[in-house]
Structure 1
Amino acid sequence: MSKRSDLWFNMVQMVATIEADLSKALQASHGVGLSEYRALQVLARSPDSELRMQELASYLKLNQSSVSRMAERLERQGLAIRDLCPDDKRGVYTVLTQKGRELVDRAVADYEAALDEALKAQGRDDLIPA
């Protein structure tokens, strides 16, 4: 393999390890995984705290099926609801609930601390300035 391929492989492994650490921290502290947390973050930053399912899928780089299952999990926890688009009954929105917003607000400090710790553990706390 080329040096470039080796470097890319190492970077992918580092990111996967950091993401696993973030997911564990969020699950332990807040009962959500990394994908769910990112979905809640995206919704919190969106106008009216809602997005069409395909827009959410695009932001998260997940397929429609994965986002549908995630939205169902978020709904079961009361963190988001799914709502039909008033203009197009085929369109479905995911809407952040107050409980979901509160979770994002509480979790952000734990997420940041876990990210800092994971970057340090990889010896790469220089990658993202504080």
Structure 2
Amino acid sequence: MPDERDHADPAHAGRLHHVELNAADLDAAAAFWDWLLGELGYERKDEWDGGRSWVNGPTYVVLGAADGTADEFDRRAPGLDHLAFHAGSRDQVDRLTDAVRERADASLLYEDRHPFAGGYYALYCEAPGGATVEVVAPDA
């Protein structure tokens, strides 16, 4: 039976429903996404041989094993540039930034301009596989 959270809700019209990501190394990518999404208030939703998913309210993120091989992710190529998430506070952005600096599977981007690389307070990091992730803080 499908999860009721998988269906559209008119109260959330125009908001993001879900995102699906593919990973060449599912286990390595899942460790990063499980950590980050957990920090952002997502809960584990499902797990199966070829993937994982996490949910936060009406939005969920799916991570699946990529079929075959592909070149390294290039955010400047046609397609997805990055994923951006809301943070609860600047303090949360700072904690996540410190944690990314300690992780072997992610790297901080734009260190010389952090935390205002985009003109506002945010974390920019590269996830396993090369996808760029942004976590944007509310105004102070």
Could you tell me the TM-score, scaled by structure 1's length?
A: 0.29
Higher helix share: 1
Higher strand share: 2
Could you tell me the TM-score, scaled by structure 2's length?
A: 0.27
